[in-house]
Amino acid sequence: MFRYIVNRILALVLTLFIIVSIAFMVVRLMPGSVYEMGGDLSQQVIDALNAKYHFDEPIIKQYYYFLENIFLHWDWGTSAKMRPGVPVFDILRDRIPISLQLNLVSLFAALPVGMAAGILAAIRKNTVVDYFVSLMVVLFISIPSFVFAAALQYFLGFKLGWFPIIYNVSAAGVARWHSMFLPILALSFDPIARVARYLRAELAETMNSEFMLLAKTKGLTYAQSTIRHGLRNSMLPMMNIIVPMFANVLGGSLVVETIFAVPGMGGLMVDSINASDHMLTVAILMFYSMISLITVLIVDISYGIVDPRVRIGGKK
Amino acid sequence: MRKQKKSMLILLSAAALAAAVSGCSSSSEPADESIVFTEAATEATSAGEAESDSAETTDPNGDTPTDEGYGILREASTSTIGSLNPLTYINSYSSTQIKRSSLTLYTYFPNEDYTFCDLSGELAAEDPIQVDEEGKVWQIKIREGVTWENGDTLDANDVYYTWQMMLDPKLANLRASNFAKDVIEIENAMNYFEGSCTWDEVGLKLIDDLTLEIHTVTNHEPREIMTHLAHPANCIINEEYFEKGMNADRTETLYGTSEEYWISAGPFIVDSWTNDAEINFKKNPNYIFKDKIWLAGINIKVVEDASTQLQLFDNGEIDYVKLSADNFQKYEEDPRVLYSSANSVTHITLNTINPDQPILANESFRRALFYATDRATIADMTANEPADYIVPTPHIIDLESGTAFRDTEEGKANLHENYGYDPELAKELFDEALAEEGIDKVTLTMIYNDVAPQTIMSEYLQQSWAQIFGTDKFELKLQAMPSSQRGDLMRSWGTDPTCYEISWGGWVSTDLMPWNAFKYWTTYYSAKNEPFLSEEFDAVFDNANFGENRFEEGVRLNAVAEMERMLVEPANIIPVVESIDKYLKSDRLELTMQNWANRVEWGWDYAKIVE
pLDDT tens digits, A225-273: 888 888 877 877 777 787 777 776 666 677 899 899 999 887 888 888 8
3-state helix/strand/coil string of chain A: CHHHHHHHHHHHHHHHHHHHHHHHHHHHCCCCCCCCCCCCCCHHHHHHHHHHCCCCCCHHHHHHHHHHHHHHHCCCCECCCCCCCCEHHHHHHHHHHHHHHHHHHHHHHHHHHHHHHHHHHHHCCCCHHHHHHHHHHHHHHHCCHHHHHHHHHHHHHHHCCCCCCCCCCCCCHHHHHHHHHHHHHHHHHHHHHHHHHHHHHHHHHHHCCHHHHHHHHCCCCHHHHHHHHHHHHHHHHHHHHHHHHHHHHHHHHHHHHHHCCCCCHHHHHHHHHHCCCHHHHHHHHHHHHHHHHHHHHHHHHHHHHHCHHHHHCCCC
Q: Is residue B69 part of a domain?
A: yes
* C-alpha distance from B464 to closest chain A C-alpha (Å): 30
Give CA separation, B524 vs A41, B542, B561, in Å: 11, 11, 21
**Same structural domain, B415 and B275:** no
Task: Please count the residues of chain A.
Answer: 316
One domain for residues B388 and B321: no
Q: Of B212, B239, B256, at which residue does a domain stop?
A: B256
A85, B253: Cβ pair inside 8 Å?
yes
Q: What is the pLDDT at residue A312? A: 57
Examine the pLDDT at B27 and tell me if it is beyond 80: no
Query: For residue B186, what is the DSSP state?
Result: B
Statement: residue B55 has pLDDT above 70: no
Q: Do B119 and B78 share a domain, yes or no?
A: no
**Edge-to-edge strands of the sheet including B278-283?**
B72-77, B297-302, B278-283, B268-274
- Are B252 and B263 found together in one domain? no
What pLDDT does residue A230 have? 84
Whether B126 and B91 map to the same domain: the answer is no
* Assigned domain for B554 exists: yes
Considering only CA atoms, which of B235, B326, B330, B334 is closest in space to residue B584? B334
Tell me how far apart the alpha carbons of residues B383 and B372 are, in angstroms, rounded to a whole number.
20
Residue numbers in chain A where pLDDT is lower than 50: 316
In a domain, B154, yes or no: yes
Looking at this predicted complex, what is its ipTM? 0.84
Yes or no, beta carbons of B305 and A259 under 8 Å apart:
yes
How close does chain B come to A127, measured CA to CA in Å? Answer: 31
Chain B residues whose CB is inside 8 A of the A263 CB are 274-277, 302
> What burial class does residue A297 get, using C-beta atoms within 10 Å of its C-beta: 0-12 exposed, 13-18 middle, 19+ buried?
middle
Q: Domain with B557 in it: what CATH number? A: 3.10.105.10
Q: Which of B3, B90, B178 sits opposite A81 (nearest CB)?
A: B90
Determine the pLDDT at residue A254: 79
Is B535 found in the same domain as B503?
A: yes
Which domain CATH number covers B120? 3.90.76.10
List the domains of chain A with CATH numbers.
97-276 (1.10.3720.10)
Partners of residue B200 on adjacent β-strands: none
pLDDT at B289: 96
- B31 Cβ under 8 Å from any chain A Cβ: yes
Task: Determine the Cα–Cα distance for residues A13 and A19; give it in Å rounded to an integer.
Answer: 10
On the question of pLDDT at B57 being above 90, the answer is no
* A chain contacts of residue B90, beta-carbon cutoff 8 Å: 37, 39, 81, 84, 275
Indicate if B205 and B57 belong to the same structural domain: no
Distance between CA atoms of B157 and A84, rounded to whole angstroms? 26
Last residue of one domain, picked from the residues B256, B286, B309: B256
Residues 6+ apart with CB under 8 A from B5: none
pLDDT of residue B9: 44
pTM equals: 0.85
Model confidence pLDDT, tens digit, residues B321-356: 999 877 888 888 888 899 998 889 999 999 999 999
Question: B265 and B250 in one domain?
Answer: no
Whether B60 is covered by a domain: the verdict is yes
Bridge partners of B124, per DSSP, are: B142
Say which of B14, B30, B492 has its CB closest to residue A243: B14
Residues B404 and B551 in one domain: yes
Those residues with Cβ within 8 angstroms of residue B421's Cβ, 6 or more apart along the chain or in another chain: B371, B372, B373, B374, B375, B376
In a domain, B542, yes or no: yes
Does some domain include residue B20? Answer: no
Q: Assess if residue B3 is contained within a domain.
A: no
Chain B residues lying within 8 Å of A86, measured CB to CB: 83, 254, 257
- CA nearest B94: which of B245, B273, B218, B246? B273
Q: What value does the mean pLDDT take over residues B53-80? A: 83
B439 and B428 in one domain? yes
B8 has pLDDT over 60:
no
Give the length of chain B.
Answer: 611
Q: Which of B24, B315, B482 sits opposite A97 (nearest CB)?
A: B24
Across the interface, whether the CB atoms of B14 and A36 are under 8 A apart is answered: no
Tell me which chain B residues have a C-beta less than 8 angstroms from the C-beta of A176: 26, 29, 31
> Quick one: average pLDDT of B12-38?
34
Partner residue facing A274 (CB), from B173, B484, B492: B484
Is a pLDDT exceeding 70 seen at residue B22?
no
Query: Does the pLDDT of residue B34 top 50, yes or no?
Result: no
Q: What is the mean pLDDT of chain B?
A: 89
Residue where a domain stops, chosen among B232, B256, B280: B256
Predicted pLDDT of residue B160: 98
| pLDDT for residue B49 | 41
Residue B7's pLDDT is 45
> In degrees, to the nearest 5, what angle opens at C-alpha B177 toward C-alphas B174 and B182?
140
* Residues spanned by the domain of B73: 31-96+257-338+586-609
Q: Which residue of B has its CA nearest to A105?
A: B22
Cβ neighbours of residue A72 under 8 Å, at least 6 residues apart? none
B256 dihedral zone (left: phi>0; alpha: psi -120 to 50; beta) = left
Closest listed residue to residue A25, CA positions, set A54, A63, A77, A56 = A63
Please name the member of B274, B302, B527 whose beta carbon is closest to the beta carbon of A39.
B527
* Predicted pLDDT of residue B443: 97
Q: Is residue B29 very low, low, confident or very high in pLDDT (cuts 50, 70, 90)?
A: very low
Cβ of B83 within 8 Å of Cβ of A84? The answer is yes
Residue B265's CATH number: 3.40.190.10
Tell me the per-residue pLDDT of B485-520, one tens digit each, with 9 for 90 and over: 898 889 889 889 999 999 999 998 888 999 999 999
Domain count, chain B: 3
Same domain, B221 and B248: yes
Q: Are residues B206 and B125 in the same domain?
A: yes
Residue in B with minimal Cα distance to A155: B311
- A-chain residues near B180 (CB < 8 A): 42
3-state secondary structure of B228: helix
Residue B422 maps to a domain? yes
Residues of A in contact with B80 (CB under 8 A): 82, 271
Calculate mean pLDDT across residues B260-268.
96
pLDDT of residue B24: 35
Report the C-alpha gap between A150 and A166 in whole angstroms: 11
pLDDT on residue B20: 37
How far is it, in rounded angstroms, from Cα B371 to Cα B367?
6
What is residue B521's predicted lDDT score, i.e. its pLDDT? 95
User: For chain B, what percent of residues have pLDDT higher than 90?
Assistant: 76
